[in-house]
Each structure stands twice: as structure tokens, then as C-alpha cells.
Structure 1
Amino acid sequence: MRELVFALKYEPGCNRVADALADHPDARIRSLSLHATAEQLWRVDHAIGTPEALDAIEDAFLTSDYYADCLATEDCSATQTTRVLDRADDTLVLYSDWQRTPTCASVPHIARDHLGDSVLFETRHKGRHYTWRLIHSGEGDVSAFFDDLAAAVGDCAQTEMLRTADTATPASGGDENRDGLSPEQEAALQAAVEHGYYESPREVDVGELADHLDVPRSTLTYRLRRAEEVLAKQYIGNRPVAEKPRSL
């Protein structure tokens, strides 16, 4: 089995939920359940935030022209059902279900086309970043999946690969690339560079980067330190050793 983690970063005005979350930076949404067939998609989401943030999120989900996860840039005329299953001061649980039309597209349906029917989905949404974690057999065409995904989102979102690895790979090691980094260490390092962690001043701190990658802060810190250690030792090891001056 393979794990595939990527994020969609939505542009303003392209996704009502992303707009609501961008207006309320402390709010976030995670999927409790997400399933798709060739004709249908249904999911349950758990949102946390202030009462004002939850009002905005609920309004975004219940608006008639919003279909959960549909990537169509125009009204696709799908049949949508959204219900509030639970609501408290700081939590909101929503059920969404929609029937596809020929113009509908979504991450789960594109994944089914290229990665097979038995794909598991997990999502986390914070601000304009919508992070997807897919577990699949590893026998599909990941490149074709990303090509179709990029075509479906168009100019509405940027697609960012976060990691891809065998689900059996240990977090502290496992298969290493030619630089001696594990896939997790390489993905952490790449994300750190892309998000400005190594800029001066830093554009993101390790806590924000960990939230974006959906890993514990301590795990990300460990992966970055291990990656930095490997690269630093390689750099020093590849430098020529200067001759010591001879004493006369």
C-alpha cells in the first residue's frame, strides 16, 4: 500500500469554505468519513473554531451553489444534501452528500479513475490549504492523477505534493534516497524550503509548518534535524581537507 499526501491552495473567491477559513485563521476542518462511488460522494466533517467561524463555515456548506469537493468551476447542477449533525460553541459536525452530473469532478472521483476503487481518503482544511491523504494500492498512475487534478482545478488552486511513500516505511528511517534521506525527511525539507522556513526572517515557524504537513511538531522537528545532519555531514565530508602547514 502507498500513501499519497498533497495540498490544494485555493485562490480567493474559488472555494467558499477556503474563503471562510481564511477569514478565521484559528478554525479548521477534518474529515471524519469520506466515501465515493462512480456516481456519488458523501462525507462527514468536524469543524472547530469560534462561534463566528463556525457560522461562516456552516453558511459555506449550506449555500446551494457549493458542492463538497466538486472541482467544477461553474454550476454543475448536482443534487446536493447537507445537514448539521451536531453544533456546540466551538464544534460543528456536517454531513454532505451529492449525486454527480457529467460536468462534476472531484479529488475522490479522479483518484478512482487512476488509482482504483479501493482508495481511502482523509482531509484537513485550514485557511486556503486543503490537505489530502490518500491510501491506495500503489498500482495506479499517480502522474496521470495529478495531471487530471491540475486540469480540473485550473487557475483556482495550486497543487502541492507533500509526500508519497510506502505505508510500511518507518517514520524514523526506511528506504532512503541517494542523499541518505528518508522520504519523510526529504518531504519535510522540501516543504520547509517552499514555505520559507529557511528564509531570513522566517516566513513560517515549525508549528505552522507542522500543521500544514499534518504531523506533530516534535516529529517534524526530528525529521528536519536528521535531514540537516545528513546534508551537513555530506557537505563537510565532500570538502577537500586542507593540508596543515609544515613547521620549519
Structure 2
Amino acid sequence: MRELVFALEYEPGCNKVGDALADHPDTRVRSLSLHATAEQLWRVDHANGTPDALDAIEDAFLTSDYYADCLATGDCGATQTAHVLDRTDDTLVLYSDWERTNSCTSVPHIAHDHLGDGVLFETRHEGRHYTWRLIHSGEGDVAAFFAALEAAVGDCARMEMLRTADTTASVRGADERESGLPSEQESALLAAVEHGYYESPREIDVGELAEHLDVPRSTLTYRLRRAEEHLAKQHVAGEQVQGEPPTTR
């Protein structure tokens, strides 16, 4: 089995969910499951945020002229329905069913065309930054998949490859450093430290740092958050191991 991780950075107006999330930067959406056939797609999305943010996300899913995850930017004639499965003050769970037409497509359908059946998907949507993790058999044509995806995305999003690896590999991929971070996150973290982002008070804000690095603000924010999340979990796991009492026989 092979793992394929990439990100799409949407332009404003190209993805209604991304626009709603951009207005609520502390909110995120992740997919719990994702399945596609040549004609249909089903998925469950789990959103966390404030009540106002969840209202905006719910509206984006329920009132769009096209499926919120379609790569089209207008009404493509597809039949789609969305239902709220659960809603609390800080959590929204949505189920969507989309029946495509010849003029619309999506990441899962492009993957189905070029990577075959049985592809598993995990997604994380923060702001206009949309990260996809695909697990596939390794027998498909990854180059053709990316070529078709790039053509479908057009000028609406910037694509970025983050990782491709054998899921059973026992060694760290070439794009990860000693810290276990992908090189893009490692570089973002180093730049943040060097330019005083973590000083108190801060010597630079995330917008200024993003401009200096010539990357979108949302991309830099995403990279720093993921790097911080990884290092925090790594630290806690290390502390727990060190604090374990010795085993007795």
C-alpha cells in the first residue's frame, strides 16, 4: 500500500467551504470517511468551531449550487444532498451524497479513475488550505492522477505535494528531518524561530512572516499548526515513556 499526501490552496471565491473557514480561522473540518464510485460520492464531515462558524459551514454545505467538494466553480448539474447528522455548540457532523455529471469532477473521482478501486481518503480543511491523505494499492498511475487533478483545478487552487511513501516502510521518508517533520513544516518552524515569531512579545506576526517567505498566510499558518501539533504530541509521548515505572518480574 502507498500513501499520498498533497494540499490544495484555494483562491478566494473558488470554494465556498474554504471561504467560510477563511472567515473563521480557528475552525477546521475533517472527513471521517470518503468513498466514491464512477458516478457517485458519499462522505461524512466533522467540523469544530464556534456557533457562528458552524452556521457558516452548514450554510456552505446546504445551499451551494454545487457539491462543496466538487472542483467545479459553478452549477455543474450534479444532484447533491447534505444532511446534518449531529449539531452541538462546537461540533457539526454532516453527511453528503453527490451524483455527478459529465461536466463535474472531484479529487476522489480523479483518484478512482487513475488509482483504481479501494482508495481510502482522509482530509483536513483549515481556511482555504485543504490537505488530502490517500491510501492506495500502488498499482495506479500517480503521475496521471496529478496531471488530471492539475487540469481540473486550473487557476482556482495551488497544488503542493507533501509526501508519498510506502505505508509499510520502517524508515522515515526522504522529505522528513530528524524531528519527524516534513521539510515544508521544518522550514516554516525554523523561519518562525529565527524571525522572533515565538518571542514574547512577538517580533513578527504570521502575516509578515508569510510575506517574507513568499507563501500564503493560510499555508504558513497550517504548516506551523501541524508542526506544533506534531512536536507537542512527540514531547508528551516522550514524557509518558520516561515517567513509566520500571516493570517487575
Please name the residue that 2:135 is paired with: 135
1:188 aligns with 2:200: no
| 2:20 equivalent to 1:20 | yes
1:217 is aligned to 231
Which 5+ residue runs of structure 1 have no aligned equivalent?
Answer: 177-181, 222-248
**CA RMSD, aligned part only?**
2.6
The answer to whether 1:198 aligns with 2:212 is: no
Contact 2:17 2:68 in 1 (8 A): no
Name the CA distance, whole Å, in 1 between partners of 2:190 and 2:18.
23
User: Cα offset for 1:212?
Assistant: 4.5
Distance 1:196 1:64 in 2: 37
> Greater Rg, structure 1 or structure 2?
1
* Cα shift at 1:64: 3.5
Query: Are residue 126 (structure 1) and residue 126 (structure 2) matched?
Result: yes
Aligned partners of 1:196 and 1:116: how far apart in 2? 37
State the TM-score, normalized to the length of structure 1.
0.77
Partners of 1:37 and 1:88 lie apart in 2 by 32
Structure 1 pair 207/9, CA: closer, same or farther in 2 (3 Å)? closer
2:93 aligned residue: 93
Aligned length: 212
The TM-score normalised by the length of structure 2 is 0.77
Cα deviation 1:133-188 (Å, max 9, x = unaligned): 00011111111111111110111100111111110123xxx166xxxxx4433971
Distance 2:162 2:75 in 1: 30
For structure 2, the residue ranges without an aligned partner over 5 or more in a row are 198-208, 211-219, 236-249
CA distance in 2, matches of 1:213, 1:140: 31
1:212–1:175 Cα change, 3 Å: closer
Distance in 2 between residues matched to 1:139 and 1:197, nearest whole Å = 37
Equivalent positions of 1:31-46 (< 5 A) are 31-46=31-46
Once residues 77 and 58 of structure 1 are traced to their aligned partners in structure 2, the CA distance between those partners, rounded to angstroms, is: 21
Cα distance in 1 between the residues matched to 2:119 and 2:156:
25
Q: 1:175 to 1:128 in 2, by over 3 A?
A: closer
Change over 3 Å in CA distance of 1:119–1:23 after alignment to 2: same
- The verdict on how the C-alpha distance between 1:196 and 1:99 changes in structure 2, with shifts beyond 3 A counting, is same
The letter of the residue matching 2:85 is: L
What is the match of residue 9 of structure 1? 9
Deviation string for 1:90-116 (max 9, x for gaps)?
000001111010011100010011111
Partner of 1:166: 166
